[in-house]
Structure 1
C-alpha cells in the first residue's frame, strides 16, 4: 500500500498539515524541518500523486540545466546528491534535468555548457560560479537578454541579474570563525588563513568576513598570512609547513574550505595539534575525525543537500507553476560543531 501523509506525520512527530506543507513547498515551515520530513518521506517510499500535473507538464517540455564546478572537493560531492534528488523528482513529473560536472575552476567550460544548454532549449540553469569577468557578462546576458533564469548555488555573484542564491552566507560564516578564533586564543596572537581557489567567490567572502571581523573586534590578533591551497590537500599541507617556519609563534589557523586533512597532518607531525587553535569548514567524515581527536577546535557546517536540491526545485516551480522564490538570498544555516556535539 502507498505511504500516506498521516503515516509520515506520525513517524515525524508532526501534524499532517506540516507534512503537506513540507512535501509541497508551501506555507511557512523551517527549512531544517522541511528537509527532515522530505528525507523521512523518501526513506518510507512516499510517492507524490501528481499524475495530472506530470501529464500537463509533458507538453511544456521543461528542461533545467545544472553546472557544478569544484567537483574534486568532497563538499561538492555532497551537494551533487541534493542535485540528483531534485533531478529525480523533476524527471518523475516528465521534466528533464541535465547535470554537468567540472573539476577545478573552468569559467570557459561553464560558458560553453551554458551556450549548449541555450541552443538545446533549456529554460533555466543552476550553477556554481567563479569570479571571472567574462562569465559575469554571459550570466547577465542570459538573465536580461535571453530571459533564462540563473540560480547561484554554493557561492554568489550578486551583480549579474541572477534570480537568487541558495547557500550559506559566506561572509557571515567568516565572521563566525573570527569570533570563535577570538575566544579560543584569548583575543591575541598570530593566525594564518588557508583558502582554496582565488576565484571562488564563496571562499573569498569567508576570508573577508574573517579578517574584517578580527580587525574590528580583535585588534590584537594579527592575520600573519593568507595562503592559497587551490583545493589541494598537499598544497594545504605545504602552506602549513611554511606558516610554521615563518611564524613560530603562530596561535591559530582558519581553513576556509578544502585541504583540512593536509593541514591537520602537518600540525600533528609537528606536535602542534591542540596547541595551535584551528577552525575549519564542512561536516565531512574526515573533518569530523580530526575534530574528535582535538586537532580541530571548531567545524562550521553548511547544508549541502539543500544547496543542491533547492536550486533545481526553485527553477522547476518557476517554470511550471510561475512561482518565484520568496527571497533573493536563501541562506542555509551556519552550524557549529565541537568534539562534544559532533
Structure 2
C-alpha cells in the first residue's frame, strides 16, 4: 500500500503543509528539507497527484514539456552549487513529465549565448531559464521568445533590464555590494585606499555588486579612496596581476573587494608580494577553495549567494508556469545574503 502525506511528515519531522509544499512546488522551502521529503516519499511509494497526471499526459501527448537552461562561466567554482541545484530539479521534473535541456557556456560571450538559445528554441523548448549576457541582441531575443512565441523566460544569478522575463532568481547584487562596502568601511575605519575587482563588465551580477559598493562608499565613507575598478575575466592569474600591480602603485592599499571569480589569485598575489600586513579582503561564493582562504586568513569576509537555490528555484518556477499556469508571486525572488567568516563556516 502506498504511503501518505501524514506518514512522510512524521518520518521527516515536519508538518503536513511542509510536505505538501515540497512535493508540489508550492512556496519556498529549504532545498535540503525538500530533498529529504522527496527521498522519503520515494521510499514509501507515495506518488503525488500531479505526478500521476503528468505521466498520463505524457502517454497521451507523446512528449512532455521541455525547459531550456543556459548558463555562463561553466568552469567557475561557484557554478558547482548552481549546477547541482539544476540537476536535482531536473530529476524531480523528469518524474513530472518535464525534460530539462542544459546548454553550458564557458564565458560571458554574446555570440555563444545567442547560439545556445537558438539551439534550444529549435529543440522545441516550452520555457527558458537563463543567466543572461547583458547586451541588446540577447535582450531582443528574450523578448521575441516571450512576446511572439509565448515561451516564458526566467533569469537567474544574473539579470537583464528591458525584457519581458517573468522574474529574476538570485542575489540582490546591489544590496550585497552595499553590504560589502559597509563591512570594508568598518574594517578600514572609514579611511584609506580600496581596490575593486570584477569579472566581466557585461555580466550584470558583478556590475550591480560594484555599483552598490561604490555608491555606499560615496554615501557613507567619503574618506575612503577608490583607486580603481578592474576586470579580471574571472581568471585567477588576472586577479593576481591586478593586485600585484595595484600594490606596486599604491603600497598603502588597505582594502580589496573581489566581486566575481578568480579569488584564488588573491593568495597568489600575497605570496608573491610577501607582505608584512595584507589588505582587508572581501570575496564571494562558498566554495571549498574560498572556505580554505577564509580559514587560512587570506580573506576576511565571504558573501555567499545560495547558488543551489538559484538553480533549483528557477526550474521550479517554470515548472509551475507550465503545469499549473501559475505565474511568480514576485518579480524579484531574492536569495539570502549570507556573510561568512572563519568563525561561522559550519
Q: What's the TM-score once normalised by structure 1's chain length?
A: 0.93
Structure 2 matches for 1:1-342, cutoff 5 A? 5-6=5-6, 8-10=8-10, 12-26=12-26, 31=28, 33-42=29-38, 44=40, 46=42, 49-50=47-48, 51-58=51-58, 59=61, 61-272=64-275, 275-342=278-345
Deviates more, 1:208-217 or 1:259-268: 259-268
Please say if residues 11 and 40 of structure 2, whose CA atoms lie closer than 8 Å, have aligned partners that are also in contact: no
Give 3-state SS (helix, strand or coil) of 2:162's partner. helix
Judged with a 3 Å threshold, the aligned counterparts in structure 2 of structure 1 residues 42 and 293 are, in CA distance, closer, same or farther, namely: farther
Listed one character per residue, the Cα deviations across residues 178-232 of structure 1 (whole Å, up to 9, x for unaligned) are 0000111101100001110121110000000001111001001111111111011
Judged with a 3 Å threshold, the aligned counterparts in structure 2 of structure 1 residues 192 and 330 are, in CA distance, closer, same or farther, namely: same
Deviates more, 1:220-229 or 1:270-279: 270-279
Matched residue count: 338
Per the TM alignment, residue 265 of structure 1 is displaced from its structure 2 partner at its CA by: 2.2
Please say if residues 3 and 46 of structure 2, whose CA atoms lie closer than 8 Å, have aligned partners that are also in contact: no
Judged with a 3 Å threshold, the aligned counterparts in structure 2 of structure 1 residues 202 and 48 are, in CA distance, closer, same or farther, namely: farther
Please say if residues 85 and 310 of structure 2, whose CA atoms lie closer than 8 Å, have aligned partners that are also in contact: yes
Judged with a 3 Å threshold, the aligned counterparts in structure 2 of structure 1 residues 43 and 238 are, in CA distance, closer, same or farther, namely: farther
Gaps of 5+ in 2: none
Per the TM alignment, residue 108 of structure 1 is displaced from its structure 2 partner at its CA by: 1.5
Q: Distance in 1 between matches of 2:304 and 2:76?
A: 15
Please say if residues 150 and 162 of structure 1, whose CA atoms lie closer than 8 Å, have aligned partners that are also in contact: yes
Q: Distance in 1 between matches of 2:170 and 2:276?
A: 31
Per the TM alignment, residue 3 of structure 1 is displaced from its structure 2 partner at its CA by: 7.0
Judged with a 3 Å threshold, the aligned counterparts in structure 2 of structure 1 residues 265 and 182 are, in CA distance, closer, same or farther, namely: same
Q: Distance in 2 between matches of 1:16 and 1:45?
A: 13
Deviates more, 1:227-236 or 1:34-43: 34-43
Judged with a 3 Å threshold, the aligned counterparts in structure 2 of structure 1 residues 2 and 203 are, in CA distance, closer, same or farther, namely: farther
Q: Distance in 2 between matches of 1:225 and 1:179?
A: 18
Please say if residues 57 and 95 of structure 1, whose CA atoms lie closer than 8 Å, have aligned partners that are also in contact: no
Deviates more, 1:16-25 or 1:236-245: 16-25
Please say if residues 274 and 294 of structure 1, whose CA atoms lie closer than 8 Å, have aligned partners that are also in contact: no
Q: Distance in 2 between matches of 1:226 and 1:91?
A: 44
Give 3-state SS (helix, strand or coil) of 2:30's partner. helix
Q: Distance in 2 between matches of 1:43 and 1:268?
A: 46
Give 3-state SS (helix, strand or coil) of 2:269's partner. helix
Deviating above 6 A after TM superposition, structure 1's stretches of 4 or more consecutive aligned residues are none
Q: Distance in 2 between matches of 1:214 and 1:12?
A: 46
Listed one character per residue, the Cα deviations across residues 234-267 of structure 1 (whole Å, up to 9, x for unaligned) are 1111111111101111000000011111112212
Judged with a 3 Å threshold, the aligned counterparts in structure 2 of structure 1 residues 269 and 99 are, in CA distance, closer, same or farther, namely: same
Judged with a 3 Å threshold, the aligned counterparts in structure 2 of structure 1 residues 93 and 338 are, in CA distance, closer, same or farther, namely: same
Listed one character per residue, the Cα deviations across residues 4-39 of structure 1 (whole Å, up to 9, x for unaligned) are 645554465432322222332325xxx4x5323113
Give 3-state SS (helix, strand or coil) of 2:78's partner. helix
Gaps of 5+ in 1: none
